Amino acid sequence: MNWHGLLVVTLAVVLGLPAAVHGQETAEQRLQRLENETQALREELARLRAESLRPLPPVSYDTASFATEADPDLKAEYYTMDELRAEMKKLAWTKGDFQIVPYGILWGATTYESARSNVGDYTLYVFSSSDQGESAWHVDAKSTRLGLDFTGPQIAALGCAESGGKVEIDFQGNYLQENKGTVLLRHAYLEVKNEYFRLLAGQTWDVISPLLPGTLMYSVGWGGGNLGYRRAQFRAERYFHFSDDLLVTTQASINGDIVSEFGPNVVGDHASWPVVEGRLAFKLGDRGQGGRPFEFGISGHIGEQSWDFLTPPAADDVELLTWSFNVDFRYPITRRLGVQGEFFTGENLGAYLGGAVQGVNTTTRDIIRSTGGWVDVWYDWTSRLHSHVGYSIDDPINSDITTGRTYNQFYFANLSYDLTKQFLVGVEASQWKTNWAGKLPGDSFRLEFVAKYGF
């Protein structure tokens, strides 16, 4: 497929070569870059000190200023370099040229749902009332997560860019008993980055649809309209600082193709080329202290999945296309109020938790098309009291489905309170509706209380 190679070459040209940015760097430019890096370190230290446990969207290096809701009472802190080094030593373990910062969230949740859902502790969709209509109560601690952030030496060959990485796990892996959760790998990657570029290898969030609605629930709307997940990838990003009010970001990655449908008569395997993801984003407005820039992104992916169908007529290595087109935006309207959202459309999106977690009709062996998205409005009542209200929908094409889910949506509203900068408690109400082909729909009201303690 010659166009596959052309696509990859085009992405490489768009991203550019990071070394070229610094190959002709003047002394003045280097001084300015070092000053920017020092300021970034100061801001990172202030963030680590003041970080709350409100739901965070996955962030790339260039979008860190969008990571949390504005806190009107949070004051910037400034340090001398000697003070900065002393503070960083308190937060990190040191091994040679590497600093290792452990972190985690101790997470407990209890939930009532008026009708049972999959999975129960969190919801991807509601079971049909033809099969199950009973209520259920859940108590869960498997969302607890542990992680390590690594910072290494600068890479001289890449313009003295910082090296680092992350490893993060939780305990929502496969299990037979709920009180015997198993380890689930969330993130494991190495990276090299500065204010001009980022190179990454390992597992982390998809490039496409990078935002998360501000739900308190672990699954953040997956299956109900929030597209994207985590997968192994090689990623490159470039940041173009056209002015103080315009930052343009290009991102691209090659990813492993994951098959979402499983069964005794269906076997998935890797295709002969990787899934390609890309995103073009614009950050408009003042990016300085107290600024509220608007960010808008367009993203998409394209790839193939390879399938073996074992039931007659048996078929081997059936290649099925997967693709998506996505739009995301985030706008802090005031220091307290903001709105964010995403839209998607595409085919064979089960591995990206789209199509109501369905990608292929294993009866007809055709791909499932779907369109959806979500919107979330947040408001900070005080520096400690926060709320989110939102709506999300995932609407597969009914004619593509013979047995399965033809529609999935939910509304949610929550209120959370920071008892301390590390200790959050919150309550969330949501209403879910899932339609099924040939069955009665499933409707469920969920009321969830969560407590999160970070370190």
pLDDT band of residue 289 (cuts 50, 70, 90) is confident
Structure tokens at 96: 């040679």
> What are phi and psi for residue 27, nearest 5 degrees?
-60, -40
Identify whether the C-beta of residue 437 lies closer than 8 Å to the C-beta of residue 88: no
What ranges in 94-150 are assigned the alpha helix state H?
none
pLDDT in tens, 84-126: 556 655 667 888 888 999 999 999 999 999 999 999 999 999 9
Interatomic CA distance for residues 411 and 164, integer angstroms: 38
CB 454 within 8 A of CB 422: yes
Helical packing angle, 27-50 and 81-91, nearest 10° = 50
Nearest to 158 by CA among 116, 197, 212: 197
pLDDT band at 56 (very low <50, low <70, confident <90, very high): very low
Q: CA quadruple 18, 23, 29, 33: dihedral positive or negative?
A: positive
Measured CA to CA, the distance from residue 348 to residue 365 in angstroms comes to 11
CA-CA distance, 376 to 148, in Å (whole number)?
Answer: 30
Instruction: Collapse the DSSP code of 119 into the 3-class scheme (helix H, G, I; strand E, B; otherwise coil) and give the result.
Output: strand
Domains parsed from the chain with CATH numbers:
2-454 (2.40.160.10)
Cα atoms in the Cβ-side hemisphere of radius 13 Å centred on 60: 32
Phi and psi (nearest 5°) for 156?
Answer: -60, -40
Angle at 250 between CA 328 and CA 64, to 5 degrees: 65
> Within a 13 Å sphere around the CA of 22, how many CA atoms are in the beta-carbon half?
19
In the numeric block, which tokens belong to residue 360? 């292929």
Q: Is the pLDDT of residue 18 over 50?
A: no
Strand 246-255 vs strand 275-284: parallel, antiparallel, or unpaired?
Answer: antiparallel
Tokens 């390879």 appear where? 306
**Strand partners for 394:** 372, 408
* Rounded Cα distance, 49 and 43, in Å: 10
**59 and 98 Cβ atoms separated by less than 8 Å:** no
Which uninterrupted H or E stretch holds 138?
Answer: strand 136-140
> How many helices (H) does the chain have, and how many strands (E)?
4, 23
Percentage of residues in the chain having pLDDT higher than 70: 80
Q: Under 8 Å CB-to-CB from 23, ≥6 apart: which residues?
A: none
Is the backbone peptide bond immediately before 313 cis, with ω within 30 degrees of 0?
yes
Tens-place pLDDT, residues 179-236: 999 999 999 999 999 999 999 999 999 999 999 999 999 999 999 999 999 999 999 9
**For residue 263, is pLDDT > 80?**
no
Biggest distance spanned by C-alpha atoms of the chain: 72
Per the CB < 8 A criterion, the answer to whether 297 and 282 are in contact is: yes
Least confident window among 42-56, 98-112, 233-247, 389-403:
42-56
Check residue 133 and give its pLDDT.
86
Whole-model pTM? Answer: 0.80
- Integer Cα distance of 136 and 435 in angstroms: 20
Mean pLDDT of 382-397: 98
Confidence class of residue 269 from pLDDT cuts 50, 70 and 90?
Answer: confident
Between CA 249 and CA 241 the distance in angstroms is 9
